[in-house]
Amino acid sequence: MDVLLTPSGGKEHLLLGNEAIVRGALEAGMAFATCYPGTPSSEVPDTLYRLRKQFPNKVKYYFEYSTNEKVALECAAGAAASGVRTLCTMKHVGVNVAADPLMTLAYVGVNAGMVILTADDPSLFSSQNEQDNRYYARLSGLPMLEPCGPAEAKEMTSYCFELSEELGSPVMIRTTTRVNHAREAVPFVKLGKVKQTSKFVKNPMRYVTVPAVSRNLHLRLLNLYNQAQAISEKSPYNQIVGKGKLGVITSGVAANYVLDAVGDLGAKSKIKVLKLGFTYPLPEKKIARFLGSVDKVLIVEELEPILEEAVKAIAQEKGISVEIVGKVPGKVPAKSVDIEAPNFFSRAFEYNPRLVREVIAKTFGLEFNEPAEISLAGMPTPPGRPPNLCPGCPHRATYFVVKEVAGDEAIYPTDIGCYTLGVLPPIKAADFLICMGSSVSSSGGISRATGQKVVSFIGDSTFFHSGITGLVNAVHNNHNFTLVVLDNGTTAMTGHQPHPGVNTEAIGDITTHIPLEPLIKGLGVKHVVTIKPFKVRAAKKAIEEAIAFEGVSVVISQELCPLFARRVAPTTKRVFQVVEDKCKGHLDCIKKVACPAMFVENGQARINPLQCIGCALCAQICPENAILPVKAKG
């Protein structure tokens, strides 16, 4: 039995923030959950999926990986409007995809608790931007809570279901990577009862957002602000810690850095902290009282100065003249955080304990000790260790073949997935990427505007997520480019989640498999071909033809992700070796594809037999035919 399904409460368990969110939802009796996976949110849906699969008789909720975040939110909205408790999870940029339903769902509201998780990623550990989704609460008018760690994440998730029902409105819970991916002791309460089904009660004057209805719904939403604001004033999640005439206002994970700093600085009797967890609407009166009780206030929040501006506005409105400081206005870190962490509060990158301690000390004129740092001068330079496509990854083969045909001159819009690693040398087949699905649509723009040869790449999951509409557009508007769908049969990057193109039988799911080729043909693409990327010669011919085709052509490059295959369809292939007598040291095999199983020794290529999985790509590249399978023993 999994600890997350423990029926009783009382004990503490070490949980990942994302597991804590799952437990919180289960304690609230969640009956319905939808998502699109994405770091740092993925372990929430992955845990829900795993529990349902492992314990079908214990688990009482419906769960799905939806095709994208907009679909996930709309599906969840339908369930919550029908009266079952619903969770919908996504990463921060996923909310952009779901923003359209979000804005009007806020008008319509729900009939049972609905919680929307937005998992933000300050410092961009695995994202294309570090947008601050606290703005979405303000944009949509939905209440938002921000936990500071796993234990609070569990408690708040449960509470958000209650709050959502009290207000008849979805509630957002906003985490950051350091909350999602931290572990701490989480106290359990007992699992909640699950109301699994309900009945949709017709009420078009509420649910059908024609202008006449929405005008009223907007007034409802504005009144909701007042109601939620009153709850926020009294919320135990907005609490004052410590005492003193110096004030700090903080929220989210930064609250930990502040509280640790106050202790480390020995300033518990000097600094009073207003720790905010219910952050939209803000507890304006509580903040005003706090401002009135201190001589100076420092705002500690990662990313945008949202609290800072709100607190300044409250001070202005109430005529409180206390000095309020936070971000250094207009100052931007000179270097990226992976080179040097900033030493002041800026709008870029996550904070850390030392930064917060030093800024608090400097702001309030307190003494602080800097650690005895060591000089790194003269250090042997560590070689770069960027993430790389795995040995035997079919993307490497596809990239090799496409580059052989289209060279460095073609423009390669790409998309989001493992294959984005194709940006690295020696592959270098990634020229433009802004979001999920942008490969397909931007290809039309680039080829129309320039007449240059365009070959774009998209993964199978990403194609289902947001590539289809772009492809319809390209066909309809007579664009001219080749789209390569890298079909590895799974959502590899985020941890092998299923998607509509997955062979559902192989993984034992009862969902329906939608094959790519008939779908793409059905969209009106005139030239569609499916290739096996490890059959280099045939693949090359097919890609030449596709690229020569005038108009939109699609190549489906089909081969299972080897990590996924190892689980669902294990096969053993003979590994390869370099025949030393034959290898003349061209090193094409290494220079062109950089498989991590290969290395150079005495000017010759070598293959690490523990890493090779026998894909045979290098053997087909070698001009001397010096790479052969290791003979079977005996």
- Give which of 534, 435, 553, 556 is closest to 485, Cα–Cα: 556
388 vs 503 by CB, closer to another protein: 388
137 vs 253 by CB, closer to another protein: 253
Letters for 563-602 (x = contact with another protein by CB under 8 A, - = none) are: ---------------------------xx--xxx-xxx--
- Give which of 228, 229, 209 is closest to 169, Cα–Cα: 228
Q: How far is the CB of 174 from another protein (least distance, A)?
A: 17
Letters for 262-301 (x = contact with another protein by CB under 8 A, - = none) are: -x--------------------------------------
For residue 57, with 0-12 CB atoms within 10 Å meaning exposed, 13-18 middle and 19 or more buried, which class applies? exposed
10 binds another protein (CB under 8 A): no
335 binds another protein (CB under 8 A): no
Strand pairing report for 271-276 and 239-241: antiparallel
* Alpha carbon of residue 21 to chain centroid: 16
Q: How far is the CB of 93 from another protein (least distance, A)?
A: 14
**Which residue of 117, 153, 259, 273 would you call a contact of another protein, by CB under 8 A?**
259
The letter for the amino acid at 410 is A
H or E segment to which residue 279 belongs:
strand 278-280
The letter for the amino acid at 317 is E
- Give which of 58, 113, 63, 60 is closest to 83, Cα–Cα: 113
244 binds another protein (CB under 8 A): no
| Segment contacting another protein by CB under 8 A, of 250-258, 428-436, 468-476, 552-560 | 250-258
Under a CB-based contact definition with an 8 Å cutoff, are residues 28 and 188 in contact? no
Q: What is the spatial distance between Cα 167 and Cα 171, in angstroms, rounded to a whole number?
A: 9
Q: At what angle do helices 150-167 and 211-234 cross, to 10 degrees?
A: 130
Interface of this chain with another protein, residues 338 to 397, rule: CB under 8 A: 341, 352-355, 370-376, 378-390
Q: DSSP states of 586-619 as a string?
A: --HHHHHH--TTEEEETTEEEE-TTT-----HHH
378 vs 634 by CB, closer to another protein: 378
# binding residues, another protein (CB under 8 A): 61
254 vs 401 by CB, closer to another protein: 254
494 vs 620 by CB, closer to another protein: 494
40 binds another protein (CB under 8 A): yes
39 binds another protein (CB under 8 A): yes
**Which residue of 178, 275, 327, 465 would you call a contact of another protein, by CB under 8 A?**
178
Q: How far is the CB of 583 from another protein (least distance, A)?
A: 15
109 vs 149 by CB, closer to another protein: 149
Under a CB-based contact definition with an 8 Å cutoff, are residues 115 and 161 in contact? yes
Q: DSSP states of 222-250 as a string?
A: HHHHHHHHHHHHH-TTSEEES-SSEEEEE
Where do contacts with another protein occur on this chain (CB under 8 A)? 12-14, 16, 39-40, 125-126, 148-149, 177-179, 181-185, 253, 256-257, 259-260, 263, 341, 352-355, 370-376, 378-390, 418, 421, 425-426, 590-591, 594-596, 598-600
